[in-house]
Amino acid sequence: MHFRTPGIPDHAPPNHPWAGAGPGATLAAVVTGARRRAVRDGDRHVDTAHLLHSLVESDPGARRAFGGGPRLARVLGYLVQRSIGYGLRWQAAQEDAGHSGAVRTPGGEGWSPAAAAALECAARSALVRGELHADGLDLLAALVADPRSRAVEVLERAGVPAEWLGARAADRSAGRDPQG
């Protein structure tokens, strides 16, 4: 699974989710944090909930998209419960969100198909804007775009409508910064 745009150099191996446009420094930290979280949680693949957890911990712009502390606190509460093995549990099954097979990079990292698709979508959004690097808002919008993803399940359980959050992320990314 990859996305290439003519004239734009690849910043990742051709079968890596970031092929075509690479993550900037912020998203590189998010991806690294998500990988670490998956290993620590004992999960076989990095999924969209790992990406969401790492994103809201690492990216101030993504946190601001939640429009205030209570929403973000509820989301983080669910994610922390998951990481300590309480509450939401998905270790028995791979997140697929309608896709098939895990995506493996040459380094052997396993990504759920939904997580790989979200990374690819974020990279594509950056390219459409004329940027080589996706940012946290690109990834946040991509994570909430798949209604069957674990990230969306976490948001729904925390009372944060995924469509609302996706619209806020897209507006902020486009330079419109809605309040509240």
- pLDDT given for residue 73 in this prediction: 94
- pLDDT given for residue 24 in this prediction: 75
- pLDDT given for residue 23 in this prediction: 62
List pLDDT tens digits, range 73-105.
999 998 888 777 665 555 445 575 444 444 544
Mean pLDDT of all residues belonging to the chain = 77
Q: Which of 89, 86, 92 is nearest to 153 (CA)?
A: 89
Residue 171 or 94, more confident = 171
List pLDDT tens digits, range 4-51.
322 223 344 344 444 445 567 878 899 999 999 988 888 888 999 999
Whole-Å CA distances, 37 to 45, 50, 71, 76, 148: 10, 6, 22, 14, 21
Residue 115 or 87, more confident = 115
* Dihedral sign for Cα atoms in the order 101, 47, 71, 32: negative
Residue 127 CA, chain-centre distance (Å), reads 17
Q: Cβ(140)–Cβ(126) under 8 Å?
A: no
Could you tell me the two tokens for 145? 């775009």
**Minimum mean pLDDT among 58-62, 97-101, 145-149: which range?**
97-101
Supply the pTM of this predicted model.
0.78
Whole-Å CA distances, 167 to 16, 61, 85, 100, 170: 27, 14, 31, 28, 5
Section 96-116 average pLDDT: 62
CATH architecture of 22-173: Orthogonal Bundle (1.10)
- pLDDT given for residue 177 in this prediction: 52
Q: Which of 74, 118, 78 is nearest to 99 (CA)?
A: 118
Q: Cβ(122)–Cβ(27) under 8 Å?
A: yes
Indicate the SS3 state at residue 103.
Answer: strand
Q: Which helix (H) or strand (E) holds 177?
A: none
Q: How confident is the model at residue 109 (pLDDT cuts 50, 70, 90)?
A: low
